[in-house]
Amino acid sequence: MGTDIELAVLFSDVVGSTRIYEILGDQRAREIVAICIDLMRASTEQHCGTVIKTMGDEVMATFASADEALNAAAQIQRQITTHPALQVEGQAVAVRIGCHFGPVVVESRDVFGATVHTANRMTSQAKAGQIMTTAATVERLSPEWRASVRQIDIALLKGQGAEVTLYEAIWQTEDVTSMLPSISMGGSADRRAQRLRLNTVEAEVVVDDSCQQISIGRADENDVVIRGNLISRIHARIEISRGKFLLIDQSTNGTFVQALDGEESFVRRDSMQLKGEGMIGLGKAPEGDSPQTIRYFCEEN
C-alpha cells in the first residue's frame, strides 16, 4: 500500500519541442532537450526535491515545501533562459512550469492522486517562461514568495468540476522588485496624497491610501465588473506602488490604454503606469461611447 503525504508536485516541460526537432533535426534537438532535462534535474536536487520521472521533454518532481518547489522553478527558468547553448534561430529555448501543493499517495517511487493532475493542469495553463500555481500552494508560501505571486485568472480545469484560481509566480528579479511594497525613505511631508478615480457607466471606484488595490474583470468578485467576450474573469488590477498608479494586466487578450493626449498603449501580462487621464479598454481599444470603456483620472492634492 502507498503512503499518504502532502507534497508540492511540479511539472516542467520544454515549449515547442516538436518545432525544435523540425528546425534542428533529431540529433541537435535531442541535445537541446537533454540540456534542459539536466538543468531541471539539477535545480530540483539543489532545492531538496526529488525527480519522480522524466517523460520526453518533461520532468515531474516533488518537494516537501512550496517554497522549495518555487525556488527550483525559478532557478530552472533563469538557467534555461540564459544558457548560451539553448538557442533556436536566435531565440532562447523556453520552458513552462506548473505546481500544486496537496495530498498524494507515494507508492513504488511514484506519486498519484488529484494533486498530480492539478499540477499537470497548471503546466498546460502556463505560457512560455511562466510558472503557474494554485491558491493551495500560495497559502503555504513564505511572505517573501507571497509578495512575488499575482493572481492571473479563474479557470475551470479539464476533469474538475470546481473553478481554480490561477497564480503566476514571478521569477524575474526586476519584476519581483516592482511588485514589492514601497518603502518610504522620508517623512510624511515628502508624500502627496494621491487618488485615482475610475468611472464606468454604472459606478465610480477610487484607488487611494485607503484602498490601494482594485481588480477589474467580468467576474462578480471584481471591484469593477465589466462584461464582454474579450474580457477575462480577472482581467487586470490597479494598485499604488511607490507613489505611482500601476495597471497590471492579467488577461488573455490584454488591456488598451488611451491617454487624453491621444497616446495609445497596450499591455498583456505586464504593467504600465497610469498618468493624467484617459480611457481603458479590456481586450480591445476603448471607444468613447462604449459601456465597456473605463475612464480614469489621476489626482494629486
CATH number at residue 44: 3.30.70.1230
180: left (phi over 0), alpha (psi -120 to 50) or beta: beta
Query: What is the total count of domains within the chain?
Result: 2
SS3 assignment, position 143? helix
| HSE (side-chain half, CA atoms, 13 Å) at 295 | 13
Segments forming the whole domain that contains residue 248: 193-300
35: left (phi over 0), alpha (psi -120 to 50) or beta: alpha
- Residue 135, class by beta-carbon neighbours within 10 Å (0-12 exposed, 13-18 middle, 19+ buried)? middle
Q: Tell me the pLDDT of the chain (301 aa) as tens digits.
A: 556 799 999 999 999 898 899 999 999 999 999 999 999 999 999 999 999 999 999 999 999 999 999 999 999 999 998 898 998 888 889 999 999 999 999 988 899 999 999 999 999 889 889 999 999 999 999 988 988 898 887 776 666 656 788 899 998 754 443 444 333 333 333 445 489 999 999 889 999 888 888 999 998 888 999 999 999 988 998 988 777 899 988 888 899 999 998 899 999 878 889 999 999 999 999 998 899 999 999 986 5
Within the chain, residue ranges assigned H as helices are 17-24, 26-46, 66-82, 114-125, 135-138, 143-146, 173-179
CATH of the domain at 215: 2.60.200.20
Report CA 192 to chain centroid distance, whole Å.
32
Residue at 183 is within a domain: no
DSSP letters, 154-186, are: EEE-TT-SSEEEEEEE--SHHHHHHHSPP---S
| HSE (side-chain half, CA atoms, 13 Å) at 56 | 7
> Distance between CA atoms of 13 and 7, rounded to whole angstroms?
20
**By C-alpha distance, which of 117, 134, 49, 36 is closest to 82?**
36
Residue at 70 is within a domain: yes
> Distance between CA atoms of 279 and 258, rounded to whole angstroms?
5
Shared-domain flag, residues 228 and 91? no
Shared-domain flag, residues 48 and 169? yes
Report field, pTM of the whole predicted structure over 0.85: no
> Distance between CA atoms of 172 and 177, rounded to whole angstroms?
9
